[in-house]
Amino acid sequence: MEGTLFVHNSLSRKKEAFQAINPPHVGMYVCGPTVYGDAHLGHARPAITFDLVFRYLSHLGYKVRYVRNITDVGHLENDADEGEDKIGKKARLEKLEPMEIVQYFSDRYHFNMDQLNVKKPSIEPRASGHIIEQIEMVKKILDSGYAYESKGSVYFDVEKYHQDTKKYGELSGRVLDDLKSNTRELEGQDEKQNAFDFAIWKNAAPEHIMRWPSPWGDGFPGWHMECSAMSTKYLGEKFDIHGGGMDLLFPHHESEIAQSRAANGDDPAKYWMHNNMITINGQKMGKSLGNFITLNQFFDGSHDFLERAYSPMTIRFFILQAHYRSTVDFSNEALQAAEKGFKRLMNALQLLEKLPVSKETTVDFKSLEKKSYEALNDDFNSPVAIAHLFDAARMINAINDGKEKITQEDLNGLKKYFSTFVMDILGFKSEEDNSGNDELLSSVISHLLEVRQEAKKNKDFNTADKIRDALTASGIVIKDTKEGAEWSVKS
The predicted-structure confidence for 124-138, as pLDDT tens digits, reads as follows 999 999 999 999 999
User: Could you tell me the pLDDT band of residue 186, with boundaries at 50, 70 and 90?
Assistant: very low
Rounded Cα distance between 199 and 329, Å, is 34
Q: What pLDDT was estimated at residue 61? A: 96
The predicted-structure confidence for 91-141, as pLDDT tens digits, reads as follows 889 999 999 999 999 999 999 999 999 999 999 999 999 999 999 999 999
Q: What pLDDT was estimated at residue 184? A: 54
Which 8-state DSSP code applies to residue 242?
E
Helix intervals (H) in 183-294: 223-235, 254-264
Q: Taking residues 455-468, what's their average pLDDT? A: 85
Higher pLDDT, 233 or 77: 233
Q: Which of 11, 56, 5, 6 is nearest to 268 (CA)?
A: 11
Q: Taking residues 209-238, what's their average pLDDT? A: 96
What is the secondary structure of 421-478 as a DSSP string?
Answer: IIIIIS-----TTTHHHHHHHHHHHHHHHHHHHHHHHTT-HHHHHHHHHHHHHTTEEE
Q: Which domains does the chain have, with CATH numbers?
A: 6-275 (3.40.50.620), 279-425 (1.20.120.640), 435-489 (no CATH)
For residue 187, is pLDDT > 50?
no
For residue 390, is pLDDT > 60?
yes
Q: What pLDDT was estimated at residue 46? A: 98
Which residues are CB-contacts of 474 (< 8 A; sequence separation ≥ 6)?
Answer: none
By the 8 A CB rule, do 140 and 85 touch? no
For residue 178, is pLDDT > 90?
no
Q: What pLDDT was estimated at residue 207? A: 87
Which 8-state DSSP code applies to residue 247?
G
The predicted-structure confidence for 24-58, as pLDDT tens digits, reads as follows 999 999 999 999 999 999 999 999 999 999 999 99
By the 8 A CB rule, do 251 and 224 touch? yes
Which residues are CB-contacts of 127 (< 8 A; sequence separation ≥ 6)?
Answer: 69, 70, 71, 72, 73, 74, 134, 221, 226, 230
Mean pLDDT computed over every residue of the chain: 91
By the 8 A CB rule, do 210 and 107 touch? no
Q: What pLDDT was estimated at residue 471? A: 85
Which residues are CB-contacts of 80 (< 8 A; sequence separation ≥ 6)?
Answer: 183, 184, 186, 189, 195
Q: Taking residues 342-371, what's their average pLDDT? A: 97
Higher pLDDT, 152 or 207: 152
The predicted-structure confidence for 414-449, as pLDDT tens digits, reads as follows 999 999 999 999 999 998 645 455 556 777 887 788
